[in-house]
Chain A
Amino acid sequence: MPKTTFRLALAALGIGAALAWSPAGAQQPITIGAFLSVTGPAAFLGDPEQKTLEMYVDEINKKGGVLGRPLKLVSYDDAGDAEKARTFAKRLIEQDKVDLILGGTTTGTTMAVVPLVESAGVPFVSMAGAVVIIEPVKKWVFKTPHTDRMACERIFSDMRERKITKIGMISGAGGFDKSMRQECLNVAKQYSIEIVADESYGAQDNDMTAQLAKIRNVAGVQAVVNPGFGQGPAIVTKNFRQLGMTMPLYQSHGVASKQFIELAGAAAEGVRLPAAALLVAEVLPDSDKQKPVVLGYKKAYEARFKSEVSTFGGHAYDALFIAVDAIKRAGGADKAKVRDAIEATKGYIGTGGVVNMSAKDHMGLDASAFRMLEVKNGSWSIVK
């Protein structure tokens, strides 16, 4: 028995030595740090992000790396806990000495890390949604997903075209729901839209008939918006039809997945929502600049992981490639130069849209990045 233990120890030593040895021959790698919520309540966001990063770091390394240097991905799972995210970010900066950081699956984990990257001076590209991440602009912080404000703007501009001015709103209790509700309230005036009813429901509620009936009884409501995430919006949609309401119903980009149509069934017909091009990759017109990018990513992801692509993985794809592109232009992994190069990103075509960053805009997307979709015959179709 001691002999086996000894052999095992020797073998472990051998493997350790081999691991330590191998990179010495090649060029010094560029280290990319990531902290993502791969487990926990935000796992459905973090898991595709993690998979996407791993897949494309592998692929880039197979093609010879960036500037002849291989990429090394160091990633930690923060389980959606802001405190853990902060500790892992400190670890990435102090212990792993990474050249840049990707991640922050949720707004909470991202905001907990912002003070750290700002004081340490490490380029940081977040994959979380809320506007607060980039407003006010923070020197080292960038983000790839659309904001909830843009979703509100896209919905309201569509309403304006349909001559809708008075609407009702029903929103959930989650972070996404509350943030988007607030943004919608903020920008409504610019589109001369009046929110005449503002109802909410709890995270575990399974019947929203009462709130919807209240909205229906408010005089002059021409449409209903539901800033929501998870199961809630599907229930709202069903209740909406059960009450025989015929006015237009708008959902948010938070439920832009096939699952929503499956849950809401026939009630989903006619529902409109803003969504990224990735969801409708196949039906995009060939003239669309984003079509090759989103179709390429979708096919690669679905072939490798045998599961449906999500916009969240797309955010990771964009973060990685904006970073890689910036490293190439900066001619190395120098932190200040990479930061400047990320800020100078122009005309990058990603899964989220066309990115044009500037000193004032650390996201670089405009409202055209959102496509207005309508559910027709149990599938998505592009409006107009």
Chain B
Amino acid sequence: MRRDTAVLLLLAVGIAVLPFALPNRYFYDVAILAGINAIVCVGLNLLIGYTGQISLGHAGFFGLGAYASAILTGYGCPAPAAMAAGAVIVGALAALVGRPILRLKGHYLAMATLGMGIIISIVITTEDRVTGGPDGMAVAPFGLLGWSVQGEEAWYWVIGASLVATVALALNLIASPVGRALRAIHGSETAAEVMGVDVARYKRMVFVLSAVLAALAGSLAAHYSGFVSPAKAGFMHSIELVTMVVFGGMASTLGAVVGAVLLTVLPQLLTVLKDYELLMFGALLMGTMILMPRGLLPTLETLWRRARI
């Protein structure tokens, strides 16, 4: 428990002092995008890292959240209500879809979530009267009663606070009896069942939770950038999210944050390589996965502990 408090404090202090190192709004922008990805990844990590269930469709939830905000505020609905509606819709959808597909395991679960994500993305692309189709649509700024969040600096604090809250939620959940049940499911579903864990219910619960977190992050992202496009709900974005979780370190909440931050910042740094950008990016990912199969942060932690002994 004390370790969790330390992790949370470390993160909060990091977010609080980072602006001193951000020279202009472009850097703020990258930090905000990293924060949004981190929120999704912390949620996804509960599902993938702790419970051992893969999802290749989370970008679909992210996109649904974003489009719910975009469409509902377009009809004059206040932004917080639109955001809540998006979260409820996504939560209900995840609960509904989760019931049959979470019975699947391994590759089959991957295929089912993949299909679900692709269906969401196709619906968003084809329903162009509502969603603006493949070209996307504009989103009103996040506001309530004449007061609105605008500018990178303001958004930085909104996203920073949301990230700290999400991490606090995840850490608490994992340390609770529910968290123990989730890890038991990861270890062995049969054993967990024998010990009296309601496997199906817990799996569905964590699936819904991670989907809702993705939807909330999607809403924030839509309001922040003032624009949504179907690419955010697409298959490639799902893969990016899973890569961030795996790269940062499975079953490590801070690892998910580190993965999200690194994989958001890295492509920006690699643009200096021009044509070799993707090559280098791929090589870095492969190198990390071969040398540190458990992900960046858990491996570094083990090394650190060994060095101290």
Contacts and interface: CB of A to CB of B under 8 A. Distances in A.
Interface of A: 39, 76-77, 80-83, 86-87, 90-91, 93-95, 106-108, 111-112, 115, 130, 132, 173-175, 178-179
B30 A83 contact: no
A86 B227 contact: yes
A94 B31 CA distance: 15
Given A82-B227, A83-B225, A86-B227, A94 B24 contact: yes
Contacts of A93: 26
B133 interface: yes
B271 A115 contact: no
Interface in B113-141: 125-126, 128, 133-136, 138
5 closest residue pairs by CB, A with B: A175-B134, A94-B26, A82-B229, A112-B227, A94-B24
A39 B128 CA distance: 25
Nearest to A80: B231
Given A87-B33, A115-B226, A178 B24 contact: no
B4 interface: no
Interface string B136-167: 10100000000000000000000000000000
Contacts of B278: 39
Nearest to A38: B275
The dominant DSSP class at the B interface is helix
B230 to A, nearest CB: 9
Contacts of A174: 134
Interface string B260-288: 00000000100100000110000000000
Given A83-B221, A94-B25, 19 more contacts: A39-B278, A81-B229, A82-B231, A83-B33, A83-B225, A86-B225, A86-B227, A87-B268, A91-B26, A91-B29, A94-B24, A94-B26, A95-B27, A106-B135, A108-B134, A108-B231, A130-B135, A178-B133, A178-B134
B232 interface: yes
Nearest to A132: B135
A87 B136 contact: no
A77 B277 contact: yes
Nearest to B136: A108
Contacts of A91: 26, 29, 268
Contacts of A76: 271
A178 B136 contact: no
B233 to A, nearest CB: 12
Nearest to B228: A82
A112 B24 contact: no
A173 B227 contact: no
13 contacts: A76-B271, A83-B229, A83-B232, A87-B30, A87-B33, A90-B25, A90-B26, A95-B24, A108-B135, A108-B229, A111-B136, A111-B227, A175-B134
B29 A81 contact: no
B35 to A, nearest CB: 13
A111 B25 contact: no
A112 B229 contact: yes
Interface string B6-32: 000000000000000000111101100
A95 B229 contact: no
Contacts of B25: 90, 94
Contacts of A90: 25-26, 29
Contacts of A87: 26, 29-30, 33, 268
Contacts of B268: 87, 91
A39 B274 CA distance: 12
B133 A175 contact: yes
Nearest to B151: A119
Given A83-B232, A174-B134, A175-B133, A95 B26 contact: yes
A94 B153 CA distance: 14
A173 B126 contact: yes
B252 to A, nearest CB: 27
Contacts of B138: 111, 115
